[in-house]
Structure 1
Amino acid sequence: MNQDLNWSTKMNVMHEDLARAHMSARLGEAQQLREAKMARARRLSRKAERAAQQARLALARAL
Protein backbone atom coordinates (compact mmCIF):
# COMPACT_ATOMS: atom_id res chain seq x y z
CA MET A 1 0.00 0.00 0.00
CA ASN A 2 2.77 2.41 0.92
CA GLN A 3 4.50 1.73 -2.40
CA ASP A 4 1.30 2.59 -4.29
CA LEU A 5 1.01 5.84 -2.34
CA ASN A 6 4.63 6.74 -3.16
CA TRP A 7 4.03 6.02 -6.83
CA SER A 8 0.86 8.12 -6.83
CA THR A 9 2.68 10.99 -5.12
CA LYS A 10 5.56 10.76 -7.58
CA MET A 11 3.14 10.83 -10.51
CA ASN A 12 1.39 13.90 -9.08
CA VAL A 13 4.71 15.66 -8.62
CA MET A 14 5.73 14.76 -12.17
CA HIS A 15 2.47 16.17 -13.53
CA GLU A 16 2.90 19.35 -11.50
CA ASP A 17 6.47 19.73 -12.76
CA LEU A 18 5.29 19.24 -16.34
CA ALA A 19 2.53 21.80 -15.88
CA ARG A 20 5.04 24.29 -14.43
CA ALA A 21 7.39 23.71 -17.34
CA HIS A 22 4.59 24.30 -19.85
CA MET A 23 3.48 27.46 -18.04
CA SER A 24 7.03 28.74 -17.93
CA ALA A 25 7.41 28.13 -21.67
CA ARG A 26 4.14 29.95 -22.43
CA LEU A 27 5.16 32.90 -20.25
CA GLY A 28 8.51 33.05 -22.03
CA GLU A 29 6.79 33.08 -25.41
CA ALA A 30 4.43 35.83 -24.28
CA GLN A 31 7.36 37.92 -23.02
CA GLN A 32 9.19 37.50 -26.34
CA LEU A 33 6.07 38.53 -28.23
CA ARG A 34 5.67 41.65 -26.07
CA GLU A 35 9.32 42.56 -26.60
CA ALA A 36 9.00 42.09 -30.36
CA LYS A 37 5.89 44.30 -30.46
CA MET A 38 7.64 46.99 -28.44
CA ALA A 39 10.68 46.89 -30.71
CA ARG A 40 8.44 47.25 -33.76
CA ALA A 41 6.60 50.15 -32.16
CA ARG A 42 9.92 51.88 -31.42
CA ARG A 43 11.07 51.40 -35.03
CA LEU A 44 7.80 52.79 -36.39
CA SER A 45 7.97 55.71 -33.98
CA ARG A 46 11.50 56.59 -35.09
CA LYS A 47 10.41 56.30 -38.72
CA ALA A 48 7.48 58.67 -38.08
CA GLU A 49 9.78 61.12 -36.29
CA ARG A 50 12.18 61.12 -39.26
CA ALA A 51 9.29 61.68 -41.68
CA ALA A 52 7.99 64.57 -39.59
CA GLN A 53 11.45 66.11 -39.44
CA GLN A 54 11.85 65.81 -43.20
CA ALA A 55 8.44 67.42 -43.70
CA ARG A 56 9.43 70.32 -41.42
CA LEU A 57 12.67 70.78 -43.34
CA ALA A 58 10.88 70.68 -46.69
CA LEU A 59 8.40 73.28 -45.43
CA ALA A 60 11.18 75.49 -44.14
CA ARG A 61 12.96 75.30 -47.49
CA ALA A 62 9.78 76.16 -49.35
CA LEU A 63 9.27 79.32 -47.31
Structure 2
Amino acid sequence: VGVFSEFSGEEFENFMALAEKLRSDYDFGHTLDAKLLPHGDSPIKVPAVRLFKPFDERFVDTQ
Protein backbone atom coordinates (compact mmCIF):
# COMPACT_ATOMS: atom_id res chain seq x y z
CA VAL A 1 0.00 0.00 0.00
CA GLY A 2 1.44 3.35 -1.03
CA VAL A 3 0.93 6.21 1.42
CA PHE A 4 1.25 9.68 -0.08
CA SER A 5 0.64 13.30 0.88
CA GLU A 6 -1.05 13.90 -2.51
CA PHE A 7 -2.05 11.85 -5.54
CA SER A 8 0.55 13.50 -7.76
CA GLY A 9 4.30 13.92 -7.93
CA GLU A 10 7.22 11.70 -8.86
CA GLU A 11 6.85 9.18 -6.01
CA PHE A 12 3.15 8.66 -6.70
CA GLU A 13 3.65 8.37 -10.46
CA ASN A 14 6.48 5.83 -9.99
CA PHE A 15 4.34 3.79 -7.60
CA MET A 16 1.40 3.76 -9.99
CA ALA A 17 3.58 2.75 -12.96
CA LEU A 18 5.10 -0.16 -11.03
CA ALA A 19 1.71 -1.19 -9.65
CA GLU A 20 0.29 -1.30 -13.17
CA LYS A 21 3.15 -3.51 -14.40
CA LEU A 22 2.86 -5.96 -11.47
CA ARG A 23 -0.92 -5.88 -10.92
CA SER A 24 -1.45 -9.38 -12.35
CA ASP A 25 0.91 -10.85 -9.71
CA TYR A 26 0.25 -8.64 -6.66
CA ASP A 27 -2.48 -6.51 -5.10
CA PHE A 28 -1.76 -2.78 -4.77
CA GLY A 29 -3.52 0.09 -3.05
CA HIS A 30 -2.81 3.72 -2.26
CA THR A 31 -4.08 6.24 0.26
CA LEU A 32 -3.55 9.74 1.60
CA ASP A 33 -4.48 8.70 5.15
CA ALA A 34 -1.84 6.60 6.94
CA LYS A 35 -4.26 6.18 9.87
CA LEU A 36 -6.16 3.61 7.80
CA LEU A 37 -3.24 1.15 8.03
CA PRO A 38 -2.09 -0.85 11.07
CA HIS A 39 0.66 1.14 12.84
CA GLY A 40 2.71 -1.51 14.61
CA ASP A 41 5.49 0.01 16.70
CA SER A 42 5.96 3.22 14.74
CA PRO A 43 3.88 5.62 12.64
CA ILE A 44 4.25 5.75 8.87
CA LYS A 45 6.33 8.62 7.46
CA VAL A 46 4.91 9.82 4.14
CA PRO A 47 5.71 9.02 1.34
CA ALA A 48 6.08 5.32 2.05
CA VAL A 49 5.15 1.88 0.84
CA ARG A 50 3.87 -0.60 3.43
CA LEU A 51 4.26 -4.21 2.33
CA PHE A 52 1.90 -6.63 4.07
CA LYS A 53 3.02 -10.25 4.31
CA PRO A 54 1.70 -13.45 5.92
CA PHE A 55 5.01 -14.42 7.57
CA ASP A 56 7.58 -12.98 10.01
CA GLU A 57 6.58 -9.39 10.75
CA ARG A 58 3.09 -8.47 9.57
CA PHE A 59 4.45 -5.64 7.43
CA VAL A 60 7.57 -3.79 6.32
CA ASP A 61 7.84 -0.09 5.46
CA THR A 62 10.10 1.48 2.87
CA GLN A 63 10.49 5.09 1.80
- Name the TM-score, length of structure 1 as normaliser: 0.25
Higher strand share: 2
User: RCO higher in 1 or 2 (8 Å CA, sep ≥ 6)?
Assistant: 2
CA radius of gyration, larger in:
1
TM-score (norm 2): 0.25
